[in-house]
Chains A and B, each alone.
Chain A
């Protein structure tokens, strides 16, 4: 069964600190992996997409990594800001354009 598991479920960090969110998947075959950010009361917005051949991709203070061998991805946030408080969702596309969503990591950045 295709699954996407994210950890931790929730996280609280102080403003300015870095953090790393994890995504492990069992989706096969693998097409791509996308990270979304969902602010409270809003729909998800794409941060980055990674294909099989990509190891690292950055979008401002967000850096995603992908290890296709171990089927793991991470999202690293540098110098966190209050506006980073959101849910971060990992989505893996498999065969036939089938999307499998993770349940998300709820991040809270505090002063």
Chain B
């Protein structure tokens, strides 16, 4: 059974703080993704990684960075959190060929920036 876990379900931070969101998958997937989900906007891709130490910008990378030091772990970093980054953040993983192969999602982290 594929498992994608995220470090926190709920997180409250202050403007300007550095925020780390952690994601771990146990299925030896090469691809990992970070999305944010906002009402009326659907899921939007922030960054993805197709291998250790590799990363690609998604549709909305501004204000975010990522780190993938190990295959199973993909971190999303908000260098200086702002209120417009209040959102639900979803991590996902898949085998190569993610357009065809199913992405498996974590439960999400609801981040509130005050």
User: Interface of A with B (CB < 8 Å)?
Assistant: 4, 31-32, 34, 41-46, 49, 89, 93, 97-99, 101-104
| C-alpha spacing A97/B50, complex, angstroms | 12
Residues of A within 8 A of B102 (CB): 34, 46, 49
Interface of A is mostly: strand
User: Interface of B with A (CB < 8 Å)?
Assistant: 4, 9, 40-45, 90, 92, 97-100, 102-108
Given contacts A45-B105, A104-B42, 10 further A-B contacts (CB under 8 A): A31-B100, A32-B99, A42-B108, A43-B90, A44-B90, A97-B98, A99-B45, A99-B99, A101-B42, A102-B42
Whether B108 pairs with A43 at a CB distance below 8 angstroms is yes
B42 smallest CB distance to A (angstroms): 4
B107 smallest CB distance to A (angstroms): 5
Whether A97 pairs with B97 at a CB distance below 8 angstroms is yes
| C-alpha spacing A32/B106, complex, angstroms | 23
A37 smallest CB distance to B (angstroms): 11
Interface of B is mostly: loop
| C-alpha spacing A31/B97, complex, angstroms | 12
Residues of B within 8 A of A31 (CB): 99-100
Residues of B within 8 A of A45 (CB): 105
| C-alpha spacing A34/B105, complex, angstroms | 14
| C-alpha spacing A103/B37, complex, angstroms | 9
| C-alpha spacing A42/B44, complex, angstroms | 17
B112 smallest CB distance to A (angstroms): 15
Residues of A within 8 A of B43 (CB): 44, 89, 101
* Residue of A32, A43, A46, A98 most packed against chain B (CB within 10 A): A43
A99 smallest CB distance to B (angstroms): 7
Ordered by A's residue number, 27 sampled pairs between the chains whose C-beta atoms are within 8 Å are: A4-B42, A31-B99, A31-B100, A32-B99, A32-B100, A34-B102, A41-B9, A41-B107, A41-B108, A42-B107, A43-B4, A43-B92, A43-B105, A43-B106, A43-B108, A44-B90, A45-B105, A46-B102, A46-B103, A49-B100, A89-B42, A93-B99, A97-B99, A98-B99, A99-B45, A101-B44, A103-B42
Q: Who on chain A is nearest to B41 by CB?
A: A103
